[in-house]
Amino acid sequence: MSEPKFKIGVVGLGYVGLPLATLLAEKFSVVGFDLNMQRVAQIRAFSDPTFEVSKESLKAVVKIIDSEKNGLYCSSDPKYLAPVNFYIVCVPTPVTKDNEPDFSLLEKASAGLGSYLKKGDYVVYESTVYPGATEGICQPILEQCSGLKGKEDFYLGYSPERINPGDKNRKLKDILKITSGCSPASAAIIDQVYATVIEAGTYKAPSISVAEAAKVIENAQRDLNIAFVNELAIVFSKMGLNTHEVLKAAATKWNFMPFSPGLVGGHCIGVDPYYLAAKAKLVGHDPKVILAGRKLNNEMGAFVANQVLQMLALIKIGMPGTEVLLVGFSFKENCPDVRNTGVMSVYNALNSFGAKISVYDPVADKEAALNSYGVSLIKAPKKMGYQAIVLCVPHKELLAVDWRIYTTAKGVIYKVKEAFSTRADGQL
């Protein structure tokens, strides 16, 4: 089959959209669209503050002017989407404060695309949704705004993002891609476009709904597995057992699945189970296991804080006013993203007891930490300045640091993640 001839438009140039647009630009003429003008300016200057795409990779594909030649032209002006005939939507799908699916950004993106949609165009969604959302929520908006009919005049597809932020070993091209379309013919063409750049290969799902469901259960399964080991950590702490030693021993069995306790956050694992739960309720099922895992993982910040308080009580240090340093603030290691960071739950719990908290993270997005949470990240920790240090996020540049030099003479150190080399007085 010959290589498909499309002009591709990627809507949303964040953690998902920019790596995809950059990769596709090696084989296609790509327009990258984002409403954030600062983001567009950064990309045009070959800079990616998310650290997902290197300066060299951007220099290789970014174009100064839009043209039909292979490469990436970025803009915050939607007029450049007009000549596109293969759209890929990569906007966030968060949850509301009540943990209900928030489709507002997806709906706005669909409405915006609808005004540019032409007969024969393709629209593929990568944003995480529950089964049925692409055809039940997005398609009607596209039809209303374009005056065209889906599956007849334009073609829908869904290919769930599988980006792993901060992972330098498994990049987008190395991760097998699920694809799907609204008909066998459209599914084949959509699959062919992705197969052009995904070296790991593609898997063509039999329907859009199957592809949507696969995405939400991938992350819901991981959330539940982490919840299980988090509950083990709570139980074993009451027994005086080292959770990691228990897990290490259990892992000697060939079919034992290795997971570690920790704080669950970010824009995927801590969010996607709510989408699956919401759809379950819509079809008349009350989800129990899915939401039980979410509840337990959401409570781990308070558990960590209580562990630290108990350690301090043993050395007769009480609240309020105790100086505490939280090391790491982003939702995962080697990634600046602070969305839904689990560290904030530790912060809030300690703050409720009157701790004087400092947060140090040389990797996290400082502006986002301040704007989203009101947390001002410090430039450097104080030597012998803290009665308690909580090692939360194991960024590679933090692993070998001797954190003992930052505690007071009687200070304690607690590890949330085992990767830190410093000897700790307690750990999750």
The answer to whether 244 touches 313, Cβ cutoff 8 Å, is no
CATH numeric code, 299-427:
3.40.50.720
Best-predicted range by mean pLDDT (47-51, 313-317, 345-349): 345-349
pLDDT digits (tens, 9 = 90+) for 274-333: 999 999 999 999 999 999 999 999 999 999 999 999 999 999 988 899 999 999 999 999
When pLDDT is averaged across residues 258-279 and rounded to a whole number, the result is 93
Cα separation of 208 and 158, whole Å?
Answer: 6
pLDDT of residue 167: 83
What is the average pLDDT score of the chain? 95
- Which of residues 428 and 168 earns the better pLDDT score? 428
In this chain, the answer to whether the domains covering 7-211 and 299-427 adopt an identical fold is yes
Torsion of CA 19, 20, 22, 23, to 10 degrees: 110
Mean pLDDT of 233-255: 96
The residue extents of the domains of the chain are: 7-211, 299-427
CA distance readout (Å), 263 to 154, 229, 271, 299, 426: 43, 11, 13, 9, 16
Categorize the per-residue pLDDT at 165 as very low, low, confident or very high, splitting at 50, 70 and 90. Answer: confident
Give the per-residue pLDDT at 183. Answer: 97
Instruction: Report residue 404 as tokens.
Output: 């003992």
**Is the pLDDT score of 195 beyond 70?**
yes
The confidence score (pLDDT) of residue 405 equals 95
The distance of Cα 381 from the centroid of its chain, to the nearest Å, equals 28
* Segment 3-27, tens digit of pLDDT: 568 999 999 999 999 999 999 999 9
Nearest to 110 by CA among 129, 100, 99, 95: 129
**Residues catalogued as catalytic:** 268
Bridge partners of residue 31, in order along the sequence:
9, 73
Place of tokens 């220099």: 59
Which residue has better confidence, 140 or 318?
Answer: 140
Q: What pLDDT is attached to residue 120?
A: 96
pLDDT recorded at residue 3: 57
As a whole number of angstroms, the distance between CA 331 and CA 336 comes to 8
| Average pLDDT over every residue of 389-405 | 96
Interatomic CA distance for residues 415 and 357, integer angstroms: 16
Cα separations in angstroms, 202 against 51, 146, 176, 301, 411 = 25, 30, 5, 38, 52
Q: Name the CA dihedral angle for 108, 110, 112, 113, rounded to a multiple of 10 degrees.
A: 160
Task: pLDDT band for 233, please (50, 70, 90 cuts).
Answer: very high
Lowest mean pLDDT among 61-70, 183-192, 300-309, 404-413: 61-70
Length of the chain: 428
Fold that domain 7-211 belongs to in CATH: Rossmann fold (3.40.50)
How far, in Å, CA of 325 to CA of 143, rounded?
A: 53
Structure tokens, 301? 């910040």
